Amino acid sequence: MEKVKVGISIGDINGVGLEVILKTVSNEKILNLCTPVIYGSTKVISYHKNIVGIGDFPFKGSRPEDRIHPNKINIINCWNENVNITLGKPSDISGVYALKSLEQATEDLAKGEIDALVTAPIHKKAMEKANFGFTGHTEYLSSKFGKRSLMLMVNDDLRIGVATNHVPLQAVAAGITKETISQKLKTLNQTLKVDFGIERPTIAVLGLNPHAGDNGLIGNEEEKIIRPVIIEAKKKGVLAMGPFPADGFFGSGNYRKFDAILAMYHDQGLVPFKTLSFGEGVNFTAGLTKVRTSPDHGTAYDIAGKNEADPSSFRKALFLAVDIFRNRKAHLDAHANPVKKGAKNIVEESEEDMIDEKSEA
């Protein structure tokens, strides 16, 4: 089997991104699994390599136009100038070079030079100083590879998606519409089938309000919006249930009964996820034409440069990117020739409904 080429954007050079990257790719077994392609600078990477204390490892410095070497850790030099690194502090410089890394990696992903992308953490303030123009990786990559994306947090059998991403809490209710919930639920159902190989996934949908609205006493979004969407989804074969009160759902352990959970907003999903999985979870952007994963932590400025960062989450992000790329390829191969004449190919349906949105972008 041909090794998957995994692109890696280095994130904020003042954070722990390069530390967890180097700790992951320096394991000699990584080259048996995939071909890592790190987008950054050999100078910056050497600086962080000395901090981590890693000895020699097989890397190949290249320019973006050069060929990727399958048995090396490839470092694509996105810039040649010297960079001022100030560990533990956001800066306009760290934002500028995080963006250069991300843009080159994204360009190569779009061209098919790499098969998947793992993004190291960025700092929103530093990216704002660099005129990034997006609230995070998810929104940026959605603009490139399909607007119907879904932020999906993954750790083994625990998968939690969010209907609204990085929006202020006061704006959440306005974002809870039938169209939004329906599309997120559809994307989640398809990604469970295609990317995770679950034939008949079960999905729990959480309510927006305390006690899931308590039959309309504490808000009516559940009765007017969420429940009707679940009923309609069931008619289309989606095994969705709810809306469930979020606190009791997790407190009772009910979350273990489902293949995935759709939360209504960022903290409703990520607080329980990180409580159960912090340091072991992966952020996967479902619904894109390309595969993108990320560790579940941020830049961790407080420990940057101290060689204390745990690479577990980044390592899992890399493994998951490889698995999902292979799952998609296997799914396409398995459904390339539908047996029944006139039957709609599930892969075509996936591409039309959740993946291929280039015409809309």
Question: In terms of DSSP bridges, do strands 282-286 and 291-295 run parallel, antiparallel, or are they unpaired?
Answer: antiparallel
pLDDT above 90 coverage of the chain, percent: 80
Q: What is the mean pLDDT of residues 300-310?
A: 96
On the question of pLDDT at 325 being above 90, the answer is: yes
Give the 3-state secondary structure of residue 205. Answer: strand
On the question of pLDDT at 355 being above 70, the answer is: no
Q: What is the mean pLDDT of residues 180-203?
A: 97
Position 337 scores a pLDDT of: 62
Instruction: Tell me the per-residue pLDDT of 23-70, one tens digit each, with 9 for 90 and over.
Output: 999 998 999 999 999 999 999 999 999 999 987 777 878 877 778 888
pLDDT above 70 coverage of the chain, percent: 93
Domains annotated on the chain, with CATH: 1-146+287-340 (3.40.718.10), 150-286 (3.40.718.10)
On the question of pLDDT at 94 being above 50, the answer is: yes
Q: How far apart are CA 247 and CA 361, in angstroms?
A: 37
Considering the chain, what is the average pLDDT of its residues?
90
Buried b / exposed e over 237-253, threshold 16 CB at 10 Å, is: ebebebbbbbeebbeee
Question: Which residue bears the tokens 């490892």?
Answer: 57
Q: What is the mean pLDDT of residues 236-241?
A: 96
Give the 3-state secondary structure of residue 204. Answer: strand
Position 342 scores a pLDDT of: 37
Question: In terms of DSSP bridges, do strands 158-162 and 291-295 run parallel, antiparallel, or are they unpaired?
Answer: unpaired
Question: In terms of DSSP bridges, do strands 158-162 and 202-206 run parallel, antiparallel, or are they unpaired?
Answer: unpaired
Cα–Cα nearest to 17, from 301, 320, 214, 281: 301
Residue 231 structure tokens: 């009923």
Q: How far apart are CA 130 and CA 334, in angstroms?
A: 44
